[in-house]
Amino acid sequence: MKDFDSKLHGSMADVQSSPSGAPDVTLGAVVTTFDSWPLAARCLEALRSWSGRLERIVVVDDCSPGSAPDLASDPRLALRINAVRQGFAATLNRAVQEVGTDVAVVFDADAYPLSDASEAICAAFAGEPRLGVLGFRTVDARGHDSPSWSDEPGAFGLAAGQRLDGWLRRLRPVRRPEAVCLHAAALALRREAFLAVGGADEELGFLDVDVDLSMRLRRAGWSVRWEPALVAFHEGGGSPVTTRWRVQELYRSRFRLLRKHGRIRFPGLLRVVVLARLHLESLLLAVLGSVLFRDAERRRDKALGRRELIQLVRREFH
């Protein structure tokens, strides 16, 4: 990892910095965490190496079990702990409210910047007054790109399912810049814009909070931009959730998101199509499960997951 970090640090030296006469914007950083303190500490250590352009660092813990560790002393650093578990959106809202700077760099606990990007971020927001949010390119431990943006979702993707939708997207990989949605693992946002659209939607599941934010900012006239010159490490998997629960949360939050933005013209038809696909997948698991999945425990988990998804769709897709 150290060799990889040093290579990325070297490449980031080429990122354009602000000209002399620094942009007149203030910059802070926020880190949200739940039961991921070792990862959050790694992110904070990376942020503490940033220059004085970074004026404040706010970390908000969403009522993790156990106590927070002792953090390295830094006058810029403020630790806040939610009294009760509030979820990602509410935690992010609290962090952005408290940081108080014009621009806030947002990192998940399991992400961290690979170099000091403070000058480049300040220059971008100072030079583009309607820039609402700026996304980092994220990479894994091998330096390969990890997901940092996605297209605006539609009802077809939910109807088709993750595998088929992903396969079809690979056949048409051209990104439409006007419809890109940035992932919250690593991004910078203008606090004014964030507050103007009401912050993160606390009614959505955490998996679509960032997608919804990009969509609302764009519809409110703010620019949403992905900047590949800004690089952060993020592999995902830093939050302690089960895969089966995560898939259920995706279905729940995606349906709410699409309905909120008027992307479901025929909700009854979508419900029928999704149920038909899930029943077909359950049938295939019953007939070919031992061929598709050699591990009996995984096979049982897949079958249980499909039954739970069918119940969820029947209950919530209205």
Per the model's pLDDT, the better-predicted residue between 258 and 168 turns out to be 258
Q: What pLDDT, on the 0 to 100 scale, is given for residue 259?
A: 96
Per the model's pLDDT, the better-predicted residue between 153 and 242 turns out to be 153
Across 66-93, average pLDDT = 91
The answer, yes or no, to whether residue 112 has pLDDT greater than 60, is yes
Q: What pLDDT, on the 0 to 100 scale, is given for residue 15?
A: 42
**Cα separation values, 72 from 29, 45, 81, 118, Å:** 16, 8, 17, 21
The model's confidence at residue 7, banded by pLDDT at 50, 70 and 90, is: very low
Nearest-CA neighbor of 124 among 115, 116, 132? Answer: 132
Q: What pLDDT, on the 0 to 100 scale, is given for residue 4?
A: 38
pLDDT single digits (tens) 278-290:
999 999 988 887 8
Q: Which two tokens stand for residue 281?
A: 């997948």
Q: CB within 8 A of 248, min separation 6: which ones?
A: 305, 308, 309, 312
Q: What pLDDT, on the 0 to 100 scale, is given for residue 5?
A: 44
Instruction: Specify the pTM.
Output: 0.86
The answer, yes or no, to whether residue 314 has pLDDT greater than 90, is yes
Q: What pLDDT, on the 0 to 100 scale, is given for residue 186?
A: 98
pLDDT single digits (tens) 197-225:
999 999 987 889 999 999 999 999 999 99
Mean pLDDT of the chain: 88
Across 164-178, average pLDDT = 69
Q: What pLDDT, on the 0 to 100 scale, is given for residue 177?
A: 59
